[in-house]
Amino acid sequence: MEQVIIIGTGCAGYTAAIYTARANLKPLMLSGTQPGGQLTTTTEVENFPGHPEGIMGPELMVRMQKQAERFGTRIAYEMVESVSLLADGGFAVKTGSASYEAKTVIIATGAAPRHMGLPNEQSLIGRGLTSCATCDGAFYPDVPVAVIGGGDSACEEAGFLTRFASKVYLIHRRDELRASKIMADRALANPKIEPVWNSTVTEYLTDEKGEMRAVKLKNLVTGAESEMDVKCVFVAIGHVPNSGFLGGLVDLDENGYILQTPGRTATKTPGLFAAGDVADHYYRQAITAAGQGCAAALEAERYLSEHEGH
Ligand code: NAP
């Protein structure tokens, strides 16, 4: 039986791995479908302490992985399907191809971009529908594109896209951005960004190749409908925590975020800890996720020494 299994390989997961590995707990990490987590879809990270010139997100994650492996962390590139309690204590962790047992589990599965829930969106992902401007923006030079959302992410994505696109429509369901003032002001001052207020996308329209050609818009104040030609839509309407595989082992808030014991990373199940964006809808920063990963590792270590000795 493993001492600790860490599910997820983002900032929270790798930090938990570095700490538990250095405590000689020989952690096993299960990577999920996006090894490295959300920072692998960003470009330069300017606010992670210790990198005064900034560091590219994917490079930061590779460095975290190396640091975790240096102290004996093992990584299995598998997707966890379920976690359940064993009769004699500990946890069974099942992936598509294997089953593991562990005395403690740290959930660091992060959050995935939210989509609009429109009928053909699954078939359009990668064909003009995306949630990652830094990944896909360069594929749409000199054409109009749209960003849906009014938060910091939407403003950031829109600003980044102006490097490539001929025009960036910022489609927001209200007439005021949710984004912080500095980000909102910057976006609204950019001549290539055109806000489309009080509007929602009701349909993605495709060309003969099945690729995005336009969106159908509805004005939420007047009810008027219109079409807007865009070659790509970048959806930035928040995230959904990856917590759906845990059954009743954790309590979730109304948005699916794991509820922790206040001020701790413990969940309602002894030995099961949660860290990073899967439990944090408030800060959602790389450094806060890393901090929670550290806290979860320390709590798992203490739990093991109190309950088992190791
Ligand atoms: P967010 O702040 O939750 O904003 C989500 C936006 O999407 C809101 O404007 C919301 O509209 C809109 N929205 C939600 N559901 C929608 C739907 N079904 N249809 C249409 N619009 C919908 O999410 P975020 O922008 O991803 O930011 C999350 C956190 O990360 C925030 O704390 C943010 O400050 C932080 N962040 C920081 C930076 C930075 O500092 N560089 C960059 C990115 C993110 P309403 O406004 O009407 O609710």
Instruction: Quick: pLDDT tens for 277-300.
Output: 999 988 888 999 999 999 999 999
- pLDDT bin (cut points 50, 70, 90) of residue 309 is low
Q: How far is the CA of 239 from the centre of ligand 1 (A)?
A: 8
Tokens 């996720």 sit at which residue? 289
Q: What is the DSSP letter of 139?
A: G
Contact 300, 106 (CB under 8 A): yes
Check if 149 has its Cβ closer than 6 Å to any atom of ligand 1.
yes
Give residue 147's pLDDT: 98
Check if 156 has its Cβ closer than 6 Å to any atom of ligand 1.
yes
pTM above 0.85, yes or no: no
At 52-100, the pLDDT tens digits run: 999 999 999 999 999 999 999 999 999 999 999 999 889 999 999 999 9
Residues in the chain: 310
Give residue 89's pLDDT: 86
Q: Is 33 helix (H, G, I), strand (E, B) or coil?
A: coil
Contact 258, 139 (CB under 8 A): no
Q: How far apart are CA 96 and CA 76, in angstroms?
A: 12
Q: What percent of the chain has pLDDT over 70?
A: 99
Q: How far apart are CA 172 and CA 309, in angstroms?
A: 54
Q: Which of the residues 11, 136, 280, 294 is marked catalytic?
A: 136
Q: 207 catalytic, yes or no?
A: no
pLDDT over 90 at 47, yes or no: no
CA-closest residue to ligand 1 atom 18: 116
User: Structural domains in the chain?
Assistant: 2-113+239-307 (3.50.50.60), 121-235 (3.50.50.60)
At 21-41, the pLDDT tens digits run: 999 999 999 998 889 998 887
Q: How far is the CA of 129 from the centre of ligand 1 (A)?
A: 18
